[in-house]
């Protein structure tokens, strides 16, 4: 069913508020979720609402967190999120990072003890809208088999990047270091669709097209993706004194407990290295030149990284967002949650 952005955001915010989240935090979480759906990243959108609602209701997300922001040097800082809503912590940390980069040229802000923060494109977009380069890295629970291995060790450990061009031009992309994020497989399950055999493996370590048989995801580009996901885990986990690798808390193991996750924002002011105007001009020039590259057979046009989701967002804001009927029915219902996620096997149906 098609739903307009503001209506979807309002439905999700009210559901999260009913679960116990304070209204201002519910609004931010809902905005991040609606942002993901608008960009076609449904794995991090409305389908996550019930999971968050159950975790909030059971005490696994601090509804009135005591955020503590500590500058460790002029250009570095740590935000302790007290296991509050990760979306809220990540947004606030990025605001701090942008301010610090304005003063110092660069900023690195780590977030400790946070819950799941959703689509990271939202946070690096904050930096781009402020005329800055934004990079964000986040650890996640073990679901990816290491190259040459048969059982999960690292998470999908995503990273996101954004850079401003002229005017409203922006390059924004957000990617997991697995071939696909786990949420993409959940989305395939919700729609009863198969998945490519390059995404995941079954219990025997054999590639599968059945999203219900997945027991491990695959890293992008084999050993290269394996190295990237290790790097993300070190920078967003080990660097912040948090659990790493197979020790990262499961999304579903105990919804009464905080996740204790980590995330790292890096913000760079282009003006600290070159002319800010020239930088933005060249970013727009790169975007244009990539679009003008001769397309290969089967392609209409070459897109710059993230352009497909940006185009989808523009279409969604104009004509609405398609949401699975069952998810929309839940959002419009009086049910807070159906008690279906606690202690769930992350790969279970």
Q: Catalytic residue positions?
A: 116
Work out the burial of residue 299: count CB atoms within 10 Å of its CB; fewer than 13 is exposed, 13-18 middle, 19 or more buried: exposed
Structure tokens at 164: 């401003």
Would you state the structure tokens that stand for residue 223, as one six-digit string?
Answer: 């050993």
Q: Are 117 and 90 in contact (CB under 8 A)?
A: yes
CB 255 within 8 A of CB 342: yes
What are the backbone angles phi and psi of residue 264, rounded to the nearest 5°? -130, 125
- What's the Cα-to-Cα distance from 175 to each of 65, 83, 111, 268, 333, rounded to whole Å? 29, 24, 19, 20, 33
Q: Exposed, middle or buried: residue 76 (CB in 10 Å: 0-12, 13-18, 19+)?
A: middle
Backbone angles phi, psi at 283, to 5 degrees: -65, -45
Residue environment code for 12-37, b if the CB has 16+ CB neighbours within 10 A, otherwise e: bbbbbbbbbbeeebbbbbbbbbbbbb
Q: How far apart are CA 192 and CA 144, in angstroms?
A: 23
d(CA 128, CA 172): 8
């Amino acid at each position: 069913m098609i739903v307009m952005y503001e209506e979807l955001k309002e439905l999700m915010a009210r559901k999260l508020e009913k679960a116990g989240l304070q209204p201002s935090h519910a609004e931010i979480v809902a905005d991040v979720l609606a942002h993901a759906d608008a960009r076609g990243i449904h794995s991090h959108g409305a389908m996550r609402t019930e999971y968050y609602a159950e975790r909030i209701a059971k005490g696994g997300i601090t509804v009135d967190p005591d955020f503590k922001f500590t500058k460790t040097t002029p250009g570095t800082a740590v935000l302790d999120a007290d296991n509050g809503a990760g979306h809220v912590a990540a947004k606030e940390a990025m605001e701090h990072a942008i301010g610090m980069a304005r003063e110092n040229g660069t900023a690195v802000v780590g977030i400790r003890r946070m819950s799941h923060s959703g689509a990271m494109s939202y946070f690096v977009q904050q930096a781009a809208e402020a005329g800055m380069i934004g990079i964000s890295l986040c650890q996640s629970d073990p679901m990816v088999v290491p190259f040459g291995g048969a059982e999960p060790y690292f998470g999908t450990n995503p990273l996101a990047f954004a850079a401003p061009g002229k005017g409203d031009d922006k390059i924004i992309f957000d990617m997991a270091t697995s071939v696909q994020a786990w949420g993409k497989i959940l989305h395939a399950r919700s729609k009863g669709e198969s998945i490519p055999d390059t995404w995941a493996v079954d219990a025997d370590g054999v590639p599968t097209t059945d999203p219900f048989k997945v027991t491990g995801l695959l890293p992008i580009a084999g050993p290269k993706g394996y190295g990237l996901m290790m790097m993300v885990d070190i920078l967003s986990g080990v660097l912040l004194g948090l659990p790493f690798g197979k020790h990262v808390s499961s999304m579903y193991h105990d919804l009464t407990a905080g996740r204790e996750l980590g995330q790292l924002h890096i913000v760079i002011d282009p003006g600290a290295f070159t002319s800010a105007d020239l930088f933005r001009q060249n970013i727009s020039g790169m975007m244009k030149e990539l679009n003008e590259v001769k397309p290969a057979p089967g392609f209409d046009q070459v897109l710059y990284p993230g352009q497909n989701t940006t185009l989808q967002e523009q279409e969604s804001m104009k004509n609405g967002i398609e949401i699975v009927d069952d998810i929309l029915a839940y959002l419009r219902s009086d049910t807070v949650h159906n008690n279906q996620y606690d202690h769930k096997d992350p790969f279970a149906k």
